[in-house]
């Protein structure tokens, strides 16, 4: 993460120096600041930690199946906010959850990773 | 801790992660009204990097951290993913982006086999088509009418996806990929 951060800061700095993006704004509004703290502290820090734990316990191919749960949770979030998913979205969500569960149950039966 | 309990906990952690990463889409939309995509990538990794670095120093009890070649490779792969994925989203049609994003499990499994000769986990060839098709269908909410075509950003998405898969494979402890990175360098 430290190395990745250094690379990303370098890329952003080069983009600013090259004039591809405007200079970094240091006066964000309250919503943007809260969003930054959420995404930095919670989503990225906690997410990367659990992703690495998942890769260690389950292996990369199986862990990557979980990525397709992201749109499924977006649908569930939309449901809580009063949006109605389409039939195809529901079907897609069931398919992803089924695929993940199939591998997870198989993993639980087979035991530890070699 | 038993292996099954360890696997169950890992699965639960990943489910939580996907909830958190799902929340990033509306969050990034708010941030894009203030900052550009490059700055957002850098800012969030600065925060996360500092926290994880502090945690690492605590766990290592203040011992100095030795960055070897493998760490640089892993860091570069994350940076390539974060940069190219953001660029890909910005410069591709929404339906195409959803389709390519859903191919992650397939890309990782094929890379593990093609580069590191790792046998795919049993049953994954049954799960991948369901996960990919399901992921595409589930991502169709706001994307209806978003278009399906080629605008150039798709190549960034593919490179970004491969970088993330490469990072995940190379960070597996005990895997052939990890052992390959761990080979001693020639004097």
> Which candidate from A4, A41, A96 shows the least CB-CB separation from B134?
A96
Which residues 133-162 of B have a C-beta within 8 angstroms of A? 133-141
Query: SS3 string of B86-134?
Result: HHHHHCCCHHHHHHHHHCHHHHHHHHHHHHHCCCCCCCHHHHHHHHHHH
pLDDT, tens digit, for every residue of A57-102?
888 888 888 888 887 887 777 777 777 778 887 888 888 888 888 8
B177, B118 contact by CB (below 8 A) = yes
The CA-atom distances, in angstroms, between B30 and each of A27, A74, B40, B46, B93 are: 15, 16, 11, 19, 21
Tokens linked to B104:
């992650």
Q: Where are the alpha helices (DSSP H) in chain B?
A: 3-22, 24-32, 37-59, 69-90, 94-102, 104-116, 124-138, 153-170, 176-181
Give the C-alpha separation, A64 to A25, whole Å: 35
Write out chain B residues lying below 8 Å of A58, CB-based: 7, 10-11, 14
Q: Is B104 on the interface with A (CB under 8 A)?
A: yes
Q: Which chain A positions have a beta carbon within 8 Å of B125's beta carbon?
A: none
Q: Please state, in angstroms and as integers, the Cα–Cα distance from residue B68 to each residue in B74, B164, B181, B184, following that order.
A: 10, 20, 10, 11
Cβ distance B19 to A25 less than 8 Å, yes or no, reads no
* Residue A96 DSSP one-character state: H
User: Distances from the Cα of B70 to the Cαs of B47, B115, B144, in angstroms?
Assistant: 23, 16, 42
Q: What DSSP element (H or E) covers A73?
A: helix A70-80
- Record: contact B138-A93, CB cut-off 8 A: yes
Q: Which of B71, B72, B83, B99 is closest to B159 using CA atoms? A: B83
Is the interface score ipTM higher than 0.85?
no
Question: Can you read off the two tokens belonging to residue B48?
Answer: 């996360």
Task: Give me the residue spans of the domains in chain A.
Answer: 60-114
**B182 vs B46, residue with greater confidence:** B46
The pTM is what? 0.79
CB contact under 8 A, A5 and B25: no
In the prediction, which pLDDT does A107 show? 67
What is the structure's pLDDT at B181? Answer: 42
The confidence band for B187, taking pLDDT boundaries of 50, 70 and 90, is very low
């Amino acid at each position: 993460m430290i190395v990745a951060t250094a690379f990303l800061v370098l890329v952003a700095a080069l983009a600013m120096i090259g004039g591809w993006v405007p200079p970094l704004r240091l006066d964000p509004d309250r919503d943007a600041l809260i969003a930054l703290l959420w995404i930095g502290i919670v989503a990225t820090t906690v997410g990367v930690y659990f992703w690495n734990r998942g890769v260690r316990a389950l292996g990369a191919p199986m862990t990557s199946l979980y990525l397709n749960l992201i749109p499924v949770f977006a649908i569930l979030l939309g449901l809580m906010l009063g949006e109605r998913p389409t039939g195809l979205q529901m079907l897609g969500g069931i398919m992803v959850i089924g695929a993940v569960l199939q591998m997870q149950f198989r993993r639980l039966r087979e035991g530890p990773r070699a | 801790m038993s292996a099954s309990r360890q696997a169950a906990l890992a699965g639960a952690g990943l489910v939580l992660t996907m909830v958190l990463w799902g929340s990033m889409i509306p969050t990034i939309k708010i941030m894009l009204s203030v900052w550009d995509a490059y700055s957002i990538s850098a800012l969030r990794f600065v925060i996360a990097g500092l926290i994880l670095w502090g945690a690492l120093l605590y766990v290592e009890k203040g011992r100095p951290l030795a960055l070897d070649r493998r760490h640089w490779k892993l860091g570069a792969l994350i940076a390539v993913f974060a940069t190219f994925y953001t660029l890909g989203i910005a410069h591709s049609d929404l339906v195409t982006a959803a389709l390519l994003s859903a191919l992650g499990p397939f890309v990782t499994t094929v890379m593990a086999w093609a580069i590191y000769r790792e046998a795919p986990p049993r049953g994954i060839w049954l799960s991948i088509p369901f996960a990919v098709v399901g992921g595409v269908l589930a991502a169709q909410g706001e994307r209806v009418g978003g278009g399906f075509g080629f605008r150039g950003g798709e190549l960034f998405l593919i490179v970004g996806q491969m970088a993330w898969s490469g990072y995940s494979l190379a960070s597996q402890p005990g895997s052939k990929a990890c052992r390959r990175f761990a080979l001693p360098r020639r004097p």
